[in-house]
Structure 1
C-alpha cells in the first residue's frame, strides 16, 4: 500500500488539530509536516502533543522544513497565509488541498495560476454532506426557477471573520448557475429600512454569528402556499477533516490542475 505524506497548515488551531488526529488514524496517510505562524507558542513542539502522542513531527514556521517530506499540504488558514504557502508548494511540487475561505478575486486568480504548476483541490467546504447538498440545490433550483423566492441563511461561531461564509456563497453560485445567472448580479447581502418589495430574481443572504456553532446552512425556496428548505448542519469538524483527506487522496495521481469537491465526489 502506498502511503501519502501529508502536511498540515495551522497545526495548532482547531481545524489543524482535527486534521492531524484524522491523519494519524488513517492507515494510508502519514503526517509528514506541520506548519504554524512564527508567533505560535506551539512552534518547536511535537504536532501530536495535544493528543499525548509523539509523532516525531515538529510544528515549524519555516516552509522548507515543514514541507520537506510532504506530498500534499492541507491548508485551512487565512487567505494571505494560504497564498504564501501555495507559492512555495507550486515551486517545489507539493500538492495542496485548500479549505481556506474569504479569498478576493485576485486571490482566486492566483490559485488558478498556481494550478498550472501543481495540483490543487480548493473548496469552501470539505464536508461530503455539504457537497451532496450542493448537488441537491442545483436540482432544486432548476425546478423552482419561477414563483419561488430564494434565501440562504448561514450560522457560524463567534470567531469566524468572513461573512457570508464561503459555503453560503458557493451555494448561491450553484443556484445562480442553475438559473443561468451570475451571483454578483442577483445577490442581496443586507436589508435595512424601507427596502421595497422583494425582487423575485434576487438571491438573499442572512448571516448569524454566535457561540460555538460549527456551521449551519439552510436554503429556503419560498413559494405561494408552500416552502422548501434544504439544510445542512455540522455538529463537528470531523466531516471537514475526512473530506479533506479524501481530497488529498484524489490529488495523489494528479500533477497539475484546479479541482473541487464535485470532482472528488465524481459529480462532474
Structure 2
C-alpha cells in the first residue's frame, strides 16, 4: 500500500486524482501532508503552491510527482535543488500516449534525410494559464535535440485556448513534397491522473534525483 497526499485536491485535477485513486487497491489518500503514512505527494496545482509544498516537505524524504506547469527558471532551479534530497518525477504531461508520441517523433527526426520545417499546434481549454503548453515546449525541445543533422530549418508553435478541450498536440513536418503529421488528443483529464497514480508506486522506490515520465514509462518495472 502507498499513502499519497494530493496537493490541489479541490481543483479539477485533484478531483480526478481522487476518483481514479479509488480504483487502485494499493493506494490510500492521506488528508494531511504531515501524516506519517504519506510516502508520495502528487502535485497538480500552481507554481507558487508547488514551491510551498516543497518547502513543507524539505525536512522529509517524501517523493513527489509534479504535474504542474508554468514554472519560471528560478522555480525550476528550486525543484532541481530539492531533488538532491528526494526522488521527483517532474512532467509536463503524464499521458502514456504522449510518451509513445515522443518516441515516434524522435525516431522520425533521427532517421530524416530531408530539409524540413516543423509546426507544433497545441489546443487547450480557456482556463489553462500557460501558453504555449509545457508539452508543446517539450516537443519542440525533443525535435531540436533529435535533429543532429540540422535538417529542421524552422520550428513554430501555435497555441489556441478554446472551450473545454483537455489537450490536443500536433507536430507537423513539411517538405516540398509531403506533409507528415503526428498527433495526440486527450479525451479526458483522467489520462493524466492515471499516469500519475501508476507512477506513484515506482517513484517512491527511486533514488534521490529528477525523473521524467519517460523514465517511468520505459522502466523495466512497466514491462
TM category (shorter chain) comes to over 0.9
Partner-residue secondary structure (3-state), 2:79: helix
2: CA distance, partners of 1:67 / 1:163: 34
Whether the 8 Å CA contact 2:120–2:158 is kept in 1: the answer is yes
1:143 Cα shift?
2.6
For 2:118, which of 150, 167, 192 is the aligned residue? 150
Alpha carbons of 1:79 and 1:204: their partners in 2 closer, same or farther (altered >3 Å)? Answer: same
Partner-residue secondary structure (3-state), 2:59: helix
Aligned to 2:173: 221
Q: Deviations over 1:184-214 (max 9, x none)?
A: xx9xxxxxxxxxxxxx622100001010010
Unaligned runs of 5+ residues in structure 2 are: none
Aligned to 1:259: 211
TM-score w.r.t. length of structure 2: 0.92
Aligned to 1:66: 33
Residues 1:88 and 2:56 are matched in the alignment: yes
Partner-residue secondary structure (3-state), 2:153: coil
Aligned to 1:234: 186
CA RMSD of aligned residues (A): 1.9
TM-score w.r.t. length of structure 1: 0.77
Aligned to 2:6: 8
Unaligned runs of 5+ residues in structure 1 are: 34-64, 187-199
- Aligned residues, how many? 219
2: CA distance, partners of 1:23 / 1:171: 29
1:144 Cα shift?
3.2
Aligned to 2:98: 130
> Computing the radius of gyration over CA atoms, which structure comes out larger, 1 or 2?
1
Q: Deviations over 1:190-245 (max 9, x none)?
A: xxxxxxxxxx6221000010100100000001111211100000010111011001
